[in-house]
Amino acid sequence: MKRISFLGMLFLGSIAACTPVTAKVFLRVEASPLPPADKTGIRDVVLLWPLRDLSVAAKLHSQGYRVFLQCESKDLAAAVATADRRAVTGMIVTNTAPSSQSPAAEQLRAYFAAHKSLTFRMLVPGGKQPQMKGRLVVERDGVLQVSSPSSQPWLDTNLALVRLAQATDPDSLPIIYDFHWYTSEALPDAWHPDAEAYRVAIAEADAIRSDVTIDLPGSLQRALVADDPRAWKLWKAVMPYLDFSSHAAKERMLPVVNLGVIVDDAQANYEAINLMARHNLAFESVRPSSLTLARLSSWNSVAVFCPLSKEAVALLRDFAASGGIVIFVNTHDEFPWHSTPPLRQESRATVYSVGAGQVVELAEPVVDPENFARDLRRLIGRERAALALWNSLTTLVTGYRQQSRPNITLYLVNYSNQPDSVQVQVQGRFTRVRLESPEERCCVSLPFVERGGFTEFTIPALRITARVRLDSAREAPPHRRKKG
Amino acid sequence: MRWLKSVALPSLTLAMLPLPAILGSPQNRSFVHQQRYAMGTVFEIVIYDEDLPRAEAAARAALDEVVRLDGMMSNYKPESDLSRMNRTAHFQPVRIPRELYEVIEESLFYSRHSDGQFDISVGPVVDLWKAALAGGPLPTAADQASALRCVGYQKIELTPPDGIQFHSDCMRLDLGAIGKGYAVDRTAEILNASGIHRAYIDAGGSTMYALGAPPGGNAWRVRLRDPSRKLGPEVMLSNNSVSTSEQSAPSSLQGDAPGHIIVPGTGKPLQTRYAISVTAPSATASDALSTTLLLLGPTKGAALVKALHNVSAMWIASDGQRTIVGDGVSFFLTGETHPIHVSPLKDRIAATSKTATELLP
């Protein structure tokens, strides 16, 4: 699994990532003609290195595109040296080679610093085409159905992949993720992917607030150049989403979270964290070494997937004592709260009361990530959830808070390609709730109610994506993280 | 319709499989696979047909019908016919769409034959526990008693052809245990009418219906839920249906987390160690029976199955203990050396049976 190995490298190699200010959509194209940028609505294009024809970058640049080259880290120096520096805006670096053959993270960082005229992105490979999936595995001579009590749709989402990649230092390198389109079910005479697939991919990157590279199939690229009306019909259905994505807030924002995830082995715990994302648990992940009092002050619940130092355990004890919930996964360690008898002993979990809070210890790793995520959601409860959706099984929501004001922007993505009524609950009080979407643009005021410190409203028919701006009359309090 | 069943590990495993590798290349495609989100789940249709555009159109039409039925039978959408009925049918007759009438009529059949274990009027109690399942507090005894007062299928009065009245001031119907099955049957009807004879319809993995057989086969092979992970149960479907049901997996973090299947008589979540699979000529029947027979358990449930025709049921406990009864389609336990037959494979049922009375011996 490329994704897993790369995540492992991210953590082990300390190639750090930060949340980008904007989520840009890069289109990876063939090194061949493309209609001008003002016609396609595309701003950033990616060409794979090596290029057979070096003039392609200049041609695309002259058509209004920002051109990026994608290369492996071992080829980076050659690519930078050879590329037309006037035509190329930046480099997307993949780092999938065994660590002994790839430049160390510090070397890359130094290299990037030495080439300030170029923009660099580290590629997080192994993303999945964002989509809602059913359960059928189709064989040529029949269907094998593995039945289970499940009725819920499965969402392939890149949220956890990106959150884990971002779980590092603040002075890190910007990341970008990509994926490959599923092509298996394409009808021979149909464009694949269809416009809906592009729209969901663009919407997801917007919600994750991460740059993404999306492949533009060569057949579509050539058809656009040839002015094929069917190709343009498809692309014109995509363009409003590109435009909508490009109009997201530009200022740096902080994710709205209430759950901290402490993890050092992304590979072992990926699926559990993926399901937490899938269930709209508003979380951020940190490495154990990054756990500080300031970090904890942003959360009301913590899930721990790795051993901790005594200092970190003491922080979590105080966190629980002041009302927090802490869940340790696969732990057999001795903890200070073991000096008192547990509150409850379940078959797989031991629950301790610690001050005003609670510590839950699971003696096993997560064997059923879906069930774990649902359990976690129940344990945290609605009263602690920073964000919650009702009856929206195919929608993901992320929230971001402005640094300068307590205003919040929610980003919603519906993966089902079926308009859905989405009920939303956000912690906090707001004076105005406004919806914008590629279809509605800015802005439609939504009626809302305030209940017990939460603001609740309904998006009547979420098509694929929407942003909801919640304005607060209050000034932003000093950011707590900066205290610690 | 939004009273959803929990997702267990097998579905996760399935979702992680490399689907494209299994499906083959687009060039040698002979099937259509479409899916649609409706009724809180994913409806999927696979059609084998020489005329792929026709198959595409048929699948689209069938899934459109599922969405239409969702708009009619959803208790989550305030504008649905079901919601409107739930607001207005107390002590006064109201007219409802034919499809809604049919589903309620068939539901009452199973209520009567299960002594009320299957009861679509359990909605108010379900809502109490649904909130708890979503992270809210457990309902108090007073809350439960208050909600139980609203339950009782005997208080539903149907007047043909489309009239309904509730003899209760707080009754609210929830078709979550039968509506998906009905939608699957409607889907099969539409495909049949479109000239499609090789299709497989799946409603979230809990209710499936097979039309005909895939090319080169006699039936569609369906692997069933096995909480013991020892037996490998399967069934071969052709023009019939299978549904599975199981209580939500126990919480690993909280011992008192409720399950999603409620016992109508007590108003409390069902405690059971079984998963059940039921085959029947129609998906409406298998869907309703899977919940009913899970609630009844193998002893009482076997008696009900024996009173029905062309129905088979298989209860599997977490330790591998199983009970298989009925004269319907055979279950195979592939984990064993010799497959166990409920009965010899019979001639396939020719057409979808949609009404409850057709299931009677």
The predicted model gives B104-132 an average pLDDT of: 89
Answer whether residue A344 is part of any domain.
yes
Q: What is the mean pLDDT of residues B206-211?
A: 94
Same structural domain, A89 and A20: yes
- Whether B10 sits inside 8 A of A186 (CB atoms) is no
Provide, as residue numbers in chain B, all residues whose Cβ is less than 8 Å from the Cβ of A139: 22
Return residues 174-203 of B near A (CB < 8 Å). 180, 200, 202-203
Q: Does the pLDDT value for residue A8 go beyond 60? A: no
Residue reference for tokens 């609505």: A41
Distances in Å between the Cα of B119 and the Cα atoms of A104, A134, B105, B111 are 64, 29, 12, 6
For residue A150, give the nearest of B2, B204, B253 by CB distance: B204
Smallest CA–CA separation between B159 and chain A, in Å? 33
**pLDDT tens, residue by residue, B127-173:** 887 777 766 677 888 888 888 899 999 999 999 999 999 999 999 99
Q: Is B111 part of a structural domain of the chain? A: yes
* Chain B residue with the nearest C-alpha to that of A461: B77
Q: Does A184 contact B23 at a Cβ distance shorter than 8 Å? A: yes
- Please report whether residue B121 resides in a domain: yes
Mean of pLDDT values over B165-188: 96
**A113 DSSP β-pair partners:** none
Average predicted confidence (pLDDT) for chain A: 86
Q: Which residues pair with A413 in a beta bridge?
A: A396, A465
- Burial bucket for residue A361 (CB in 10 Å: 0-12, 13-18, 19+): buried
What would the pLDDT profile of B43-87 be if each residue is shown by its tens digit? Answer: 999 999 999 999 999 999 999 999 999 999 998 888 999 999 999
For the cut 90, the answer to whether the pLDDT of residue B240 exceeds it is yes
| Cβ of residue A228 closer than 8 Å to a chain B Cβ | no
Residue A36 CA to residue A58 CA, distance in Å, equals 13
Q: Rounded to whole angstroms, how far apart are CA atoms B101 and B99? A: 5
Compute the average pLDDT of residues A244-273. Answer: 88
B276 within domain boundaries? no
- A294 and A424 fall within a common domain: no
The answer to whether B215 contacts chain A (CB < 8 Å) is yes
Between B138 and A150, residue with greater pLDDT: B138
Q: Identify whether B103 is part of a domain.
A: yes
Please give the residue of chain B at the shortest CA–CA distance from A380. Answer: B135
Interface test with A, best of B77, B253, B273, B332 (most A CBs within 10 A): B253
Q: Which residues pair with B228 in a beta bridge?
A: none
CB contacts, 8 Å: B13 with chain A: 146
Give φ, ψ of B350 to 5 degrees: -75, -40
Q: How near does any CA of chain B get to the CA of A195, in Å?
A: 16
User: How many whole angstroms separate alpha carbon A300 and alpha carbon A321?
Assistant: 11
Enumerate residues 6+ apart whose C-beta is below 8 A from A338.
A352
The answer as to whether A252 is a domain residue is no
- The predicted pLDDT at position A103 comes to 59
Nearest neighbour of A136 by CB, restricted to B46, B214, B216: B46
The CA distance from B184 to A334, in Å, is 53
Contact across the interface for B76 and A135, Cβ inside 8 Å: no
For residues A365 and A394, state if they share a domain: no
Which chain B residue lies closest to A328 (C-alpha atoms)? B253
Inside any domain, residue A424:
yes
* CB neighbours of residue B148 within 10 Å: 18
CA distance A41 to chain B (A): 30
**Residue A102: per-residue pLDDT:** 52
Q: Is the pLDDT of residue A147 over 70?
A: no
Determine the residue among A3, A138, A151 to mutate to test chain B binding: the one whose Cβ has the most chain B Cβ atoms within 10 Å. A151
**Residue B9 tokens, joined:** 């590990």
Residues 23-42 of B with CB under 8 A from A: 23-27, 29-31, 33, 35-38, 40-42
Check CB contact under 8 Å for B11 and A148. yes
Residue B344 pLDDT exceeds 60: no
Would A63 be classed as within a structural domain?
Answer: yes
Question: In which band, very low, low, confident or very high, does the pLDDT at A143 lie, cut at 50, 70 and 90?
Answer: low
What mean pLDDT value characterizes chain B?
A: 81
Could you give the residue ranges of the DSSP H alpha helices within chain B?
Answer: 9-15, 19-23, 52-73, 81-88, 98-113, 123-133, 141-148, 179-193, 283-306
Are B208 and A145 in contact (CB < 8 Å)? yes
Cβ B134–A367 below 8 Å, yes or no?
no
Q: How high is the pLDDT of residue B360?
A: 23
Contacts of A376 in chain B (CB under 8 A): 253
Both tokens assigned to B296: 């009844």
**A434/A301 same-domain check:** no
Residue A284: per-residue pLDDT? 92
In terms of Cα–Cα distance, which of A280, A318, A326 is closest to A300? A326
Q: Which pLDDT score is estimated for B170?
A: 94
- Give the closest residue to A15 by CA, choosing from A91, A105, A87: A105
| A470 contacts A432 by C-beta, under 8 angstroms | yes
What value does the mean pLDDT take over residues A162-171?
72
Which one of B32, B37, B74 makes the best mutation probe of the A interface by having the most chain A beta carbons within 10 Å? B37
Asked if the structure places residue B159 within a domain, the reply is: yes
B-facing residues of A in 11-50 (CB < 8 A) are none
The candidate with the shortest Cα–Cα distance to A153, out of B295, B42, B348, is B42
Q: Could you tell me if B134 lies within 8 Å of chain A, comparing CB atoms?
A: yes
A·B CB contacts under 8 A: 242
Task: Give the domain CATH number at A139.
Answer: 3.20.20
Which one is predicted more confidently, B80 or A154?
A: B80
Q: Indicate whether A378 and A410 sit together in one domain.
A: no
Give pLDDT, residue A188.
59
The pLDDT of residue B130 is 76
pLDDT average, residue stretch A328-351: 91
The reply to whether A71 and A209 lie within a common domain is: yes
Q: How far is B173 from chain A (nearest CA, A)?
A: 18
pLDDT grade, residue B311 (50/70/90)?
very high
Model confidence band, residue A476 (pLDDT cutoffs 50, 70, 90): low
Q: Do A190 and A267 fall into the same domain?
A: no
Chain B contact set for A302 (CB, 8 A): none
Q: Sort out which chain B residues have CB atoms less than 8 A from A393's CB and list them.
A: 4, 37, 40
Please tell me the distance in Å from A343's CA to the nearest CA on chain B: 12
> How far are the Cα atoms of A194, A420, B263 from residue A417, in angstroms, in the given order?
12, 9, 35
* Structural domain that includes position B98: 88-166
Round to whole Å and give the CA distance between B328 and B342: 8
Q: How confident is the model at residue A367 (pLDDT cuts 50, 70, 90)?
A: confident
B256 touches chain A (CB under 8 A): no
What pLDDT, on the 0 to 100 scale, is given for residue A187? 60
Count of structural domains, chain A: 3
Condensed to tens digits (0 to 9), the pLDDT of residues A65-106 reads 999 999 998 899 889 988 777 899 999 998 755 444 455 667
| Highest mean predicted confidence (pLDDT) among A173-182, A253-262, B90-99, B251-260 | B90-99
Q: How many domains does chain B have?
A: 1
Q: Mutation target for A interface from B75, B252, B315, B318: give the one with most A CBs within 10 A.
A: B252
Is 50 exceeded by the pLDDT of residue A360? Answer: yes
Q: Is residue A202 domain-shared with residue A298, that is, in the same domain? A: no
Higher-pLDDT residue of B15, A247: A247
Give the number of residues written for chain A: 484
B17 near A CB under 8 A = yes
Q: Which residue range(s) make up the domain with A427?
A: 387-482
Whichever domain contains B157, its CATH number is: 1.10.3980.10
Is B210 among the domain residues? no
Tell me which range, A176-190, A285-299, B177-191, is most confidently predicted by mean pLDDT: B177-191
Distance CA B176, CA B39 (A): 8
Residue A251 lies in a domain: no
Task: Look at residue A310 in the predicted model and tell me its pLDDT.
Answer: 95
Residue A41 lies in a domain: yes
- Contact yes or no for B244 and A148 at CB 8 A: yes
Domain-located, residue B61: no
Mean pLDDT of B276-295: 95
User: CA nearest A358 in B: which residue?
Assistant: B253
Q: Is the ipTM of this complex over 0.85?
A: no
Share of chain A above pLDDT 90, in %: 61
Which of A190, A215, A246 is a domain's end point? Answer: A246
Which chain B residues are closer than 8 Å to A131 by Cβ? none
The pLDDT score that the predictor gives to residue B7 is: 30
* Statement to judge: residues A189 and A45 lie in one domain: yes
Q: CA nearest A376 in B: which residue?
A: B253
Do A105 and A230 sit in the same domain of this protein? yes
The confidence band for A208, taking pLDDT boundaries of 50, 70 and 90, is: very high
Domain boundary among A384, A419, A454: A384
Tell me, yes or no, if A381 comes closer than 8 A to chain B by beta carbon. yes
Task: With a cut of 60, say whether residue B17 has pLDDT above it.
Answer: no
In angstroms, the CA A366 to CA B183 distance is: 36
Using CA atoms, how far residue A306 sits from A159, A298, A303, A331, A348, in Å, is: 21, 20, 9, 8, 18
Q: What confidence score (pLDDT) does residue A431 get?
A: 94
Contact A188 B29 (CB under 8 A): yes
Mark which of A321, A356, A384 sits at the end of a domain. Answer: A384
Strand partners, B323: B315
Task: Find chain A residues with C-beta within 8 A of B14's C-beta.
Answer: 135, 137, 146, 148
Which range (A179-193, A284-298, B290-304) has the least confidence?
A179-193
Check if B240 contacts A (Cβ < 8 Å): no
Looking at the domain assignment, is residue B283 inside a domain? Answer: no
**Percent above pLDDT 70 for chain A:** 85
Cβ-defined contact of A141 to B225 (cutoff 8 Å): no
Instruction: Please determine, for residue A475, whether its predicted confidence score (pLDDT) is greater than 70.
Output: no
